[in-house]
């Protein structure tokens, strides 16, 4: 493979000149520039990323943890990954993936930074008091997070989050508009940050609308459709069953739909995340869609501002999700 030195010799100029041509710096006459460019094309020369990286101590690479162990079905993150990829490449950077099983903790982050393989990170799967926030912030490593850690450090770091509470509120509101008065909720066990927010959106909307006893219609389920099925069974065999159910996730909603088919009742159902399940289920599932492309764009932008040592004007973004109405919530 040709080096910059050989290009210089072949073009009859110095290495400096070639470098200037490559990086659009310095004062190079048009004629010289053209000659150098021709030689570069002739020799099929591409600068070595290694040498460049060594020289200015930058990897031009962003790290992202791909964690499929926690939820093996998460198409939202698939798209998130794709969007980030596109955006990184637009600015000439690449995306380095690493695995980060919950137990491993900070080690992969440390290793990648210490060996200079990445310049910064995009985080997702954030959790309460996420230790990564503290480590990265204290070590002064650029990062931007999809989600918050629900601790004071959130104020100091760049994050984008989707307002889950607004999502379930929209779903509940939509059901009220459809004429429902007894609306139930099937959520995750209390204690998960996003699960609790989604519950809050439902409850607040139900209370404000003056629905009767919404708390009587709340069930908790694990995130699978069997669990959703049983929760639905319980709710819908109450003396005065709800006529609509807001679900904390599509998978749980699917269990409700299954019960709905089996028992031939007409309960309206909404899910959350607008996974492909929602589109493909029968009936098609009304669901809350997160603006993933917007999230990715804001995160990447904020990360790059940090990498360029420029200021972030608005480091925190809380985005509104969108309710996608389909057959499952319509009469």
Q: Say which entry of DNA, its own copies, none residue 23 contacts (CB below 5 to 8 A, set by partner kind).
A: DNA
Q: What's CA 309's distance to the chain center, in Å? A: 24
Give the whole-angstrom CA distance, residue 219 versus residue 230: 10
For residue 258, give the nearest of 285, 279, 239, 237 by alpha carbon: 285
Q: Summarize the chain as % helix, strand, coil (round to 5).
A: 50, 15, 35
The two tokens of residue 328 are: 């499952």
- Binders of DNA among 114-133, rule CB under 7 A? none
Nearest of 168, 114, 182, 134 to residue 123 by alpha carbon: 134
* Residue from 14, 26, 38, 49 binding its own copies (CB under 8 A): 49
Q: Which of 167, 258, 285, 323 binds its own copies (CB under 8 A)?
A: 258
Out of its own copies, DNA, none, what residue 263 binds, judged by CB under 5 to 8 A for its kind, is none
Span 28-47, contacts to DNA by CB under 7 A: 28-29, 31-32, 45-47
Per CB under 8 A, the list member of 111, 213, 222, 237 interacting with its own copies is: 111
Q: Check binding of 41 to its own copies (CB under 8 A).
A: no
CB 3, min distance to its own copies, A: 11
Distance, CA of 48 to CA of 31 (rounded, Å): 25
Q: Helix or strand or coil: residue 318?
A: strand
| Residue 27 interacts with DNA (CB under 7 A): yes or no | yes
Instruction: Name the binder of 73 from its own copies, DNA, none, CB < 5-8 A by kind.
Output: its own copies
User: What is the C-alpha to C-alpha distance for residues 260 and 200, in angstroms, rounded to an integer?
Assistant: 25
Dmax (CA) for the chain in angstroms is: 91
d(CA 287, CA 143) in angstroms, rounded, equals 30
Inter-residue contact 214 to 208 (CB < 8 Å): no
Is the Cβ of residue 8 or residue 292 nearer to DNA in the bound state? 8
| 141 is an interface residue for its own copies by CB under 8 A | no
Q: Strand pairing partners for 160? A: 146, 317
Binding site for DNA (CB under 7 A): 1, 3-5, 8, 12-17, 19-20, 22-23, 25-29, 31-32, 45-48, 50-52, 54-57
Binding site for its own copies (CB under 8 A): 1, 44, 46-51, 53-54, 57, 59, 61, 66, 68-69, 72-75, 78-79, 81-82, 85-86, 89, 94-99, 111, 114-117, 225, 251, 254, 257-258, 261, 276-277, 280-282
């Amino acid at each position: 493979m040709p080096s910059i030195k050989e290009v210089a010799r072949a073009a009859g100029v110095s290495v400096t000149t070639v470098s200037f041509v490559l990086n659009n710096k310095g004062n190079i006459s048009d004629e010289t520039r053209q000659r150098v460019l021709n030689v570069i094309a002739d020799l099929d020369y591409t600068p070595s990323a290694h040498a460049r990286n060594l020289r200015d101590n930058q990897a031009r690479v962003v790290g992202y943890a791909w964690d499929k162990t926690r939820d093996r079905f998460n198409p939202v993150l698939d798209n998130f990954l794709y969007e980030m990829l596109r955006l990184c490449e637009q600015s000439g950077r690449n995306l380095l993936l690493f695995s980060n099983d919950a137990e491993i903790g900070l080690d992969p982050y440390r290793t990648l930074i210490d060996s200079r393989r990445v310049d910064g990170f995009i985080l997702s799967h954030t959790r309460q008091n996420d230790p990564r926030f503290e480590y990265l912030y204290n070590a002064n490593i650029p990062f931007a997070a999809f989600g918050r850690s629900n601790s004071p450090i959130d104020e100091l770091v760049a994050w984008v989050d989707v307002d889950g509470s607004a999502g379930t509120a929209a779903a509940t509101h939509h059901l009220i508009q459809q004429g429902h008065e007894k609306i139930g909720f099937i959520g995750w066990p209390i204690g998960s940050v996003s699960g609790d927010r989604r519950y809050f959106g439902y409850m607040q909307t139900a209370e404000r609308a003056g629905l009767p006893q919404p708390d009587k219609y709340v069930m908790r389920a694990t995130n699978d459709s069997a669990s959703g099925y049983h929760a639905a069974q319980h709710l819908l065999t109450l003396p005065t069953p709800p006529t609509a159910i807001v679900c904390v996730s599509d998978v749980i909603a699917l269990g409700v739909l299954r019960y709905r088919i089996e028992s031939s009742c007409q309960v309206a159902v909404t899910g959350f995340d607008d996974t492909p399940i929602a589109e493909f289920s029968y009936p098609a599932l009304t669901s809350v869609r997160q603006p993933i492309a917007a999230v990715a764009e804001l995160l990447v932008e904020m990360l790059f501002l940090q990498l360029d040592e420029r200021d972030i004007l608005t480091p925190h973004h809380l985005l509104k999700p969108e309710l996608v109405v389909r057959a499952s919530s319509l009469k």
